[in-house]
Structure 1
Amino acid sequence: MSNSIASAAQLDASELMCPMPLLKTKLALRNLSVGDVLHVIATDSGSWRDIPRFLQLSTHELLAATDVDGRYEFWIKKGA
């Protein structure tokens, strides 16, 4: 599924440590229009927990997430 999701922007937060992947995700979402999809790549294990938790408390939607050998990818649809 994730390979077929078109994204308006990509954020490579690889090699950044907590809390930077989450903070950069929040900033990137601010620059998108409602309905746009942000593709986030992270390697910090805290991202697997922190990003979905943030999204549950927001208007944004987690479309897909993958964890392949410590490479975490998220496809996030910006909400209103």
Structure 2
Amino acid sequence: MQVDKEIDLSGLNCPLPILRTKKALADMASGQILKVVATDPATPKDFDAFARQTGNQLLQSAQEEGKFLFWMQRK
């Protein structure tokens, strides 16, 4: 997957991963893809809700080595 921007939010707890993701997406053009790395166990649920509420598309999520990975496409 072609990623336009990547942010590592490891160590940050709710609501900071969502707030930083929102800020990063705001600086991107429509259709661009943001990869997010997070460690907060609440982030999978938070990112699902964030995508539904904002219209940005959660393309994929995964978990690797204790980290949560998300690929979001800017609406």
TM > 0.5 between the two? yes
Runs of 4+ that moved beyond 3 A: none
Q: Who is 2:23 aligned against?
A: 27
Q: Who is 2:9 aligned against?
A: 13
Q: How does 1:22-61 map to 2 (within 5 A)?
A: 22-61=18-57
The RMSD of aligned alpha carbons is 0.9
Q: Who is 2:68 aligned against?
A: 72
TM-score normalised by structure 1 residue count: 0.88
Q: Which runs of 5+ in 2 are unaligned?
A: none
> How many residue pairs align between the two structures?
75
Distance 2:4 2:44 in 1: 22
Distance 1:37 1:65 in 2: 13
Shift of 1:68: 2.5
Q: Secondary structure at the match of 1:75?
A: strand
> Are the equivalent residues in 1 in contact too, given 2:60–2:71 (CA < 8 A)?
yes
Q: Secondary structure at the match of 2:54?
A: coil
Q: Who is 2:59 aligned against?
A: 63
> Are the equivalent residues in 2 in contact too, given 1:45–1:70 (CA < 8 A)?
no
Q: Which runs of 5+ in 1 are unaligned?
A: none
